[in-house]
Amino acid sequence: MARGPAKRTEAVVLDTTKLAERDLIVTLLAEDGVLERAVAKGARKGGSRFGAACELYRTSDVLLAPGRSLSIMTDARLVEGAPILRQDFEVLAAAAAIADCVKAVSLEGEGEAIAYALVRRAYEMLAEPLDLAHLQLIVAAFAFKLLALLGWRVELDACVGCGSEDVRWFDSLSGGALCSDCAARVESAELLGEHRRSWLRALLLCPFQELATSPVAPEDAAWMARLSLDWSRAQLDMGLKSFAFFSNL
């Protein structure tokens, strides 16, 4: 019975679940930005090229054949020159936070190619030797950029309540910056100084490479990671467990 054509695509592996003795269910973001789930038969057999291409956070060229409920990954090979992350606790936690965020925004069967480019670039950055503060910057920038691309752009220049440009507060649930009058009516609002407001602007506007080489105070980086999680949760109404774990490191 015909079930539509096979799909050959570059993809990033965002999640894997063991299936039977030697197989995996692999969750991938394809280059058209669509989230795909596929069975990879024999992927847990040690030492195979196929297995290596199905590992977490790898970038691979894959062939997906339509199956009864999930697709079947019939071929996979690593993309030459694509990043391979260090098996470092903080790096892997950052990669999991990014995957968490992508899975939360992706609807099966729909996607934006630009989201794939952003994920691919973020994983390239995680392959660089970054300390925790810069990993936090990359994850926070990723979350704010991805959500902005999809229509949830954080407002930093004017109060989301009244439009005043005298903004000294921030509240994720309200949608961004607030003036003192509006903030007085919002219990969860927090103070936002000019220094941290310019950091938030930088997360939205600066390329990852520039952020990765910018000096940052650890407390500012930790704050940005936490705020990007709050922002994502407020917009997506999701728990984001791995993202929360990373933000608490």
Q: Is 40 an interacting residue with respect to Zn ion (CB under 5 A)?
A: no
Q: Is the dihedral of CA 155, 234, 97, 20 positive or negative?
A: negative
Q: Establish if 141 lies at the interface with Zn ion (CB under 5 A).
A: no
Q: Report in angstroms the alpha-carbon separations of 43 from 17, 28, 57.
A: 11, 14, 15
Q: Which is nearer to Zn ion, 162 or 173 (CB)?
A: 162
Residue 176 interacts with Zn ion (CB under 5 A): yes or no: no
C-alpha 80/C-alpha 24 separation (Å) is 23
Interaxial angle between packed helices 132-149 and 113-126, expressed in degrees from 0 to 180 and rounded to the nearest 10: 180
- Are 113 and 32 in contact, with CB atoms under 8 Å apart? yes
Interface residue with Zn ion among 88, 164, 233, 245 (CB under 5 A) is: 164
The one among 84, 113, 117, 162 contacting Zn ion by CB under 5 A: 162
Contact segment (CB under 5 A) with Zn ion among 126-134, 135-143, 152-160, 187-195 equals 152-160
Residue 217 binds Zn ion (CB under 5 A): no
- Size of interface with Zn ion, in residues (CB under 5 A): 6
Q: Which is nearer to Zn ion, 83 or 161 (CB)?
A: 161
3-state secondary structure of 50: helix
135's tokens: 């990993």
Return the structure tokens found at 23: 């197989």
117 or 184: whose CB is closer to Zn ion? 184
Q: Using the rule CB under 5 A, is 221 a contact of Zn ion?
A: no
What is the Cα–Cα distance from 225 to 36, expressed in whole angstroms?
A: 27
Closer to Zn ion at the Cβ: 104 or 177?
A: 177
Query: Which of positions 55-74 make contact with Zn ion (CB under 5 A)?
Result: none
179 binds Zn ion (CB under 5 A): yes
Please give the Cα distance from 74 to 82 (Å, whole number). Answer: 21
Smallest gap, in angstroms, from Cβ of residue 169 to Zn ion?
Answer: 9
H-type alpha helices, the chain: 49-53, 89-105, 113-126, 132-149, 180-183, 194-205, 208-212, 218-236, 241-247
98 is a contact residue toward Zn ion (CB under 5 A): no
CB contact at 8 A, 150 and 216: no
Tell me whether residue 74 or residue 164 sits nearer to Zn ion (CB atom): 164
Q: How far is the CB of 179 from Zn ion (least distance, A)?
A: 3
By beta-carbon proximity to Zn ion, the closer residue of 102 and 159 is 159
* 180 is an interface residue for Zn ion by CB under 5 A: no
Residue 161 binds Zn ion (CB under 5 A): yes
Q: Which of 125, 182, 203, 227 binds Zn ion (CB under 5 A)?
A: 182
